[in-house]
Every structure is written in C-alpha cells, then in structure tokens.
Amino acid sequence: MPKTEKEAIEKARFIVEKEGWPWLEPVKAGLWEYKEKKSLYSKSAYRKKWSVTTNYLNRGANVKISFEAETGEVLEKVWSPR
C-alpha cells in the first residue's frame, strides 16, 4: 500500500475520480497515528493512516480521504461542496 506522500495522493485521486468528485489543488497529505479500539474490553492498538485533503487552503469544495497505511482500506471519504 502507499509508502510515500506521492503514492497516497495518487490513490486518493483514483478514489475521487471514481466517485465523480472534483479534484482541486492544492492538495495536502499526511501520515497520522490513530487509536483503533475493537471493543470496550480489548486493548487499543495504534495504527497509521494517510489523510489527503484537496483544495486545503479554501473552505468548501474539499474532498477528504483517509485510508489505512498498511492495508489501504478506506476509512473515510467525504466531499464538502460548500
């Protein structure tokens, strides 16, 4: 799955085009740690995810895609038209 920022942006662009959403520059990508909790009584695990946001200097017409860094599983995909 994506190992670099460039690969993460390419994967996000593919997802955005598949959804038919607009792809506006500039684009910001980052690798983040998040806490995954399976249930109330299980131990939490820290995992890494890529988060890519389009048109990030402006409010509105933004797409945010987050996916698991190791597996590439899409965790979130949101288009904010305004």
CATH architecture of 5-36+46-80: Roll (3.10)
Q: What pLDDT was estimated at residue 2?
A: 82
Sign, CA dihedral 50-51-53-58, equals: negative
pTM of this prediction?
0.85
Do the beta carbons of residue 55 and residue 61 sit within 8 Å?
yes
Q: What pLDDT was estimated at residue 1?
A: 76
Please determine, for residue 6, whether its predicted confidence score (pLDDT) is greater than 80: yes
Domain boundaries, the chain: 5-36+46-80
Please determine, for residue 56, whether its predicted confidence score (pLDDT) is greater than 80: yes
